[in-house]
């Protein structure tokens, strides 16, 4: 399991609370600029929950690869994904390495960013309906992060349960956590941006 440095976690929570109670303060705006710069520099990833998709979990008829059996993005979710892509471009990132869960709502989000081709990465798949997969998938994602080439901006589009299992943080739809990947494979959260 990945270890999160407590002082960085406390800093992240402080920035999140400041954003909730005071809007975007100058300190938070500066932090956001630092987040984008870190992502451009390499060795960092954005771990992102898919955009707005009404409901919870998946229908009993869920079939991988058949979007008609799954929760999918609402119109607002599609618009949110496009805005997030614009946010990347406004901050100097025109293209990125994009990896996604194979669930339709994640693939729709990843494609909606319009930052480049999208590859699926099965460890990003939801285990909401089958919590028995949590430890195995989290280990697989950890292994992927340890060996991945993170010299380009990298975005991982996934689900709330996956993000929470990996980091202990609870994301909103479309929320992005910026994480530094240490040589050990440990993740250090450096900040987050809410996009709703």
- Rounded to an integer, what distance in angstroms lies between the CA atom of residue 186 and that of residue 171? 19
| DSSP 8-state class, residue 67 | G
Q: What is the pLDDT of residue 129?
A: 86
- pTM for this model (two decimals): 0.84
Is a pLDDT exceeding 50 seen at residue 18? no
* Domain segments of the chain as ranges: 6-193
Residue 13 has pLDDT above 60, yes or no: no
End-to-end CA distance of the chain: 30
What confidence tens digit (pLDDT) does each residue in 29-42 have? 445 899 999 999 99
Looking at domain 6-193, its CATH class is alpha beta
The Cα–Cα gap between 189 and 177 comes to 7
| Element of type H or E holding 126 | none
* Angle subtended at Cα 196 by Cα 100 and Cα 159, rounded to the nearest 5 degrees: 30
Q: Whose CA is closest to 80, among 170, 157, 2, 189? A: 157
Band (pLDDT 50/70/90 cuts) for residue 46 is very high
What does the buried/exposed string (b/e) look like for 19-36 if buried means 16 or more CB atoms within 10 Å of the residue's CB?
beeeeeeeebeebbeebb
Q: What is the pLDDT of residue 31?
A: 56
pLDDT at 57: 85
Q: What is the mean pLDDT of the chain?
A: 86
Higher-confidence residue of 132 and 17: namely 132
Summarised one tens digit per residue, pLDDT across range 47-100 is 999 999 999 888 889 999 999 999 999 999 999 999 999 999 999 999 999 999
């Amino acid at each position: 399991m990945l270890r999160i440095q407590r002082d960085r976690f406390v800093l992240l929570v402080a920035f999140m609370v400041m954003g909730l109670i005071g809007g975007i303060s100058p300190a938070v705006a500066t932090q956001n600029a630092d987040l984008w710069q870190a992502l451009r520099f390499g060795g960092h990833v954005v771990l992102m929950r898919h955009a707005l998709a009404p409901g919870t979990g998946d229908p009993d008829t869920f079939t991988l690869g058949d979007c008609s059996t799954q929760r999918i993005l609402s119109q607002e979710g599609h618009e949110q994904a496009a805005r997030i892509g614009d946010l990347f471009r406004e901050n100097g990132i025109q293209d990125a390495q994009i990896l996604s869960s194979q669930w339709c709502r994640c693939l729709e989000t990843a494609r909606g960013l319009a930052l480049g081709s999208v590859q699926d990465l099965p460890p990003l798949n939801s285990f909401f309906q089958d919590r028995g997969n949590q430890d195995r998938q989290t280990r697989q994602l950890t292994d992927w992060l340890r060996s991945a080439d993170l010299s380009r901006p990298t975005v991982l589009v996934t689900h709330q349960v996956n993000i929470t299992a990996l980091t202990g943080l609870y994301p909103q739809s479309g929320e992005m956590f910026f994480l530094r990947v240490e040589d050990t494979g440990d993740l250090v959260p450096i900040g987050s941006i809410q996009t709703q």
